[in-house]
Chains A and B, each alone.
Chain A
Amino acid sequence: MAQVVIEGVEENVREVMARYGNNPARMIEILQDLQDLYGYLPKEVLEEVSRQTEVPLTRVYHVATFFKAFTLKPRGKYTIQVCTGTACHVKGSYRVLERFEDLLGVRPGDTTDDLMFTLETVNCVGCCALGPVVIINGKYHGHVAPVQVESLIKEYRER
């Protein structure tokens, strides 16, 4: 895993906490803002949050692992979301997902070692007529066939 440099944790946490009146009850919002800042929730950040809110680390860790919106692992530059909802599944999205897994060498929820791609699955994004749907950093790609996956990855890698 590539080394990620984490700086200014103490000041950043203090600033975010002040935004929420230093109220530990607003833990979710505090963690959300910190995740926006770092792209994920590094261990150092959770420890600092625990120190400053005086909430035991076990509690902070529980909140951070409970919600799917939080991630404790670094995220890639591009997030690839493969829809595995009913319509996309029927249209063969699992084969598209398999192709992504093979080419990137990661399972859904994981990030490539070069921190380029994070692979995820989602359950229906509301445009079933376009299935199978793949969303890369918010851009929707419809009717994705397994053979197109390689060129999609290439396209984003070369950006």
Chain B
Amino acid sequence: MEEAELTTRLAGYIAGQMPQARDVAITDVARITGGASRQTYRFTLSWTEADGVARRRGLILRRDPADSLIDTERRVEFEAYRAFHGTGVPVPEMLWLEEGGEALGSPFFVAEEIAGFQAGPGVLWSAPYLETHAILGAQKWEILGKIARADPAERGLTAALPSVKADDCWRRELDHWEEVLDADESEPLPIIRAAIRHLRAAPPPPAQKVGVVHGDYRTGNFLYDDQGGVHGILDWEMCHLGDPLEDLGWSFNPVWYFGRGMPGGLLPRETAIAVWEQASGLRADPKALKWWELFACVKGQAIWVSSARAWLDGANRDPILVYPAWALINAQDRAALHVMGRL
């Protein structure tokens, strides 16, 4: 769909959601590049209230592409954002969700834009951000601890997300991502297959609690400022119920070291664990955490090979799908070797 058509149809949709408003218009539509799983646009909505007051608001549209890097339901992401809005976990306000294709051709949601902050990790490695790493890292793992501490039932997520037993969290996730590898890999992966055998041979203990797992909590998926403040946790499309250590392990995936030799490129591993334990009230059992770190390598590799598969199958030829396949498959192999103590 061309941008002009998208703008017209989106304006029509929003006008239908705001029957009290007049002169609903959309301007400044701009695609935000970089996301491989959803098409993201920022735009300005303007309208006139029934009392004649003119208003404007910056909003975000997240729409499913023809073939996504990650196959997830739009509702999962929407409900996860909604669950944490107004809590100590900063997220944008969700406005409207459409799960059908009638309005814009594919499912989408519209949310508040949290403007004025950085998201991509590229600028983090130079001034003035370089000086903020300790504060930013502490914020990052403190917020992850708050997600781990949250009660899924209180947050209204037990209705939206499939349940799992504490002793089955690891198996469900490993089964799922191994199936993705089986279906999507275009080249055999001896290191990751050895990692899977290792994980199955020595499973972790049952989860301390079945909590909310963000599913993609890493540097690059939150909004930050130049003082080390975090203003929005993004990309909840892989959110699920499970072992909170899964998120901690994913945040320690060495492909997110950014060449700086520490988790997220921000904090020493032990410091990040201490912050997370304090905020979550949970213990990061070293053996269990190691299991989830190696699992993160398997999951990461499954996502990267899916990216290659989506491009190879031709449904989506976005070059963003080639980047993980080329740049991260070897890095993820190396990460797995590192976690297994072989590199």
Chain A bound to chain B? no
Q: Please report A residues at the B interface, Cβ cutoff 8 Å.
A: none
Q: Please report B residues at the A interface, Cβ cutoff 8 Å.
A: none
